[in-house]
């Protein structure tokens, strides 16, 4: 097992999912043993059985990691090895490093730029959770 092998699996059968405020790396396969080997090599992640929607399909398993510290470590190792998902990898690294996913990251000045725009629209433009925008609008007394 090596990083090139992992990169091939992620490019072929995996996903780098950016859904603010979370980043997730995911691989699915019908060979659970290979996912266990990947999990051991990376020293993180969870393996689970995927529910079949068709009785004729083979049994399927998934490996996933959501912890941003682990995701960043893995993505940094893979960024020069990925081909198909290279852009997504770099985008995820920038997102994690920007710390937008931390709990206290919106400044009053950032929010004032949006005026009286609804908080859900602000969240969509900032690509962050609407709850966070709502919380900081209240905190700064802007709503």
- In the chain the domains, ranked by start, together with CATH numbers, are 3-98 (3.10.28.10), 108-139 (no CATH)
Look at residue 103 in the predicted model and tell me its pLDDT: 54
Look at residue 79 in the predicted model and tell me its pLDDT: 96
Look at residue 49 in the predicted model and tell me its pLDDT: 94
Q: Which residues pair with 24 in a beta bridge?
A: 17
Strands (DSSP E) along 42-122, which ranges?
46-50, 60-65
Q: What is the pLDDT along the chain (143 residues), one digit of tens a residue?
A: 999 999 999 999 999 999 877 899 999 999 999 999 999 999 999 999 998 888 888 899 999 999 989 999 999 999 999 999 999 999 999 888 876 655 556 778 888 999 999 999 998 888 777 888 888 899 889 88
Its pTM stands at 0.70
Look at residue 133 in the predicted model and tell me its pLDDT: 87
Look at residue 139 in the predicted model and tell me its pLDDT: 87
Look at residue 88 in the predicted model and tell me its pLDDT: 96
Look at residue 99 in the predicted model and tell me its pLDDT: 67
Other beta carbons less than 10 A from residue 106's beta carbon: 20
Look at residue 110 in the predicted model and tell me its pLDDT: 85
Contact 5, 76 (CB under 8 A): no
């Amino acid at each position: 097992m090596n990083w090139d092998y992992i990169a091939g699996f992620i490019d072929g059968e995996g996903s780098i999912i950016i859904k603010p405020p979370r980043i997730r790396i995911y691989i699915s396969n019908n060979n659970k043993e290979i996912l266990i080997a990947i999990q051991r090599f990376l020293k993180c992640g969870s393996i689970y059985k995927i529910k079949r929607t068709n009785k004729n399909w083979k049994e399927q398993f998934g490996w996933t990691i959501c912890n941003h510290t682990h995701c960043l470590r893995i993505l940094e190792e893979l960024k020069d090895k990925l081909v198909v998902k290279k852009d997504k990898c770099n985008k995820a690294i920038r997102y994690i490093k920007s710390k937008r996913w931390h709990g206290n990251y919106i400044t009053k000045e950032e929010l004032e730029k949006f005026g009286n725009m609804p908080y859900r629209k602000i969240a969509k433009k900032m690509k962050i959770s609407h709850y966070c925008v709502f919380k900081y609008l209240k905190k700064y007394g802007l709503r």
